[in-house]
Amino acid sequence: MDEPFATSGTPCCGRRGDTFHPSPPGETDLNPDIRPTRDKTLLELEGNSGARTTIDRHLVKAVRRLRELPIRDYRTEDLRLMIGQGLGLPYLVPIALDVLEADPFAKGDYYPGDLLKMVTSVPLAFWSDHPSYRRRAAHVVRRALQGFDEVETIPELRGDLWAAGALLD
């Protein structure tokens, strides 16, 4: 199995030796990276241009580690954390929606439904740019509200989901 390639700067195009290097301007890329998105890291997909956080050291280390981890290896908590930081949304929200469609109360490290709470906290501009994801999220919120009484979670999540449902519909 191929290991992810370490990159610095923007995601690279051509491959020389064991590391990626961008093709010189005007040259056609002869070796494009055609791996599926889930096999890539956010660092490869977004480069170093991702949002920088000034919160605590633990969070900074976790974000740095996750940006270098292939997306296919993300756990529910990893999705929750990165989406909560607003990082990699075009890549991570659809994966989070896959998880939530299977279980609307998928749990990261905190409480049942914490992933859904983070997904519903994504800025409205993202949902406007991705209407199919918006419809999927609205459907998950409706399912969660219907089954809310069957799950032991934090009580304030219900109000958060009602508010999110109104914005997403």
What are the boundaries of each domain within the chain? 1-73, 87-169
Is pLDDT above 90 for 80?
yes
In this prediction, what percent of the chain has a pLDDT beyond 90? 60
Least confident of 29-33, 105-109, 154-158, 163-167: 29-33
DSSP 8-class letter at 112: B
The amino acid present at 90, given as its one-letter code, is: P
Give yes or no for a contact between 93 and 83, defined as CB atoms under 8 angstroms apart: yes
pLDDT (tens digit per residue) in 144-162: 999 999 999 999 999 999 9
> What pLDDT score was predicted for residue 4?
37
69 exposed, middle or buried (CB, 10 Å; 0-12, 13-18, 19+)? middle
> What pLDDT score was predicted for residue 16?
35
pLDDT (tens digit per residue) in 27-67: 555 677 778 888 888 888 887 755 555 556 888 899 999 99
DSSP H stretches of helix in the chain? 42-46, 57-67, 76-84, 89-102, 114-120, 124-129, 131-146, 156-168
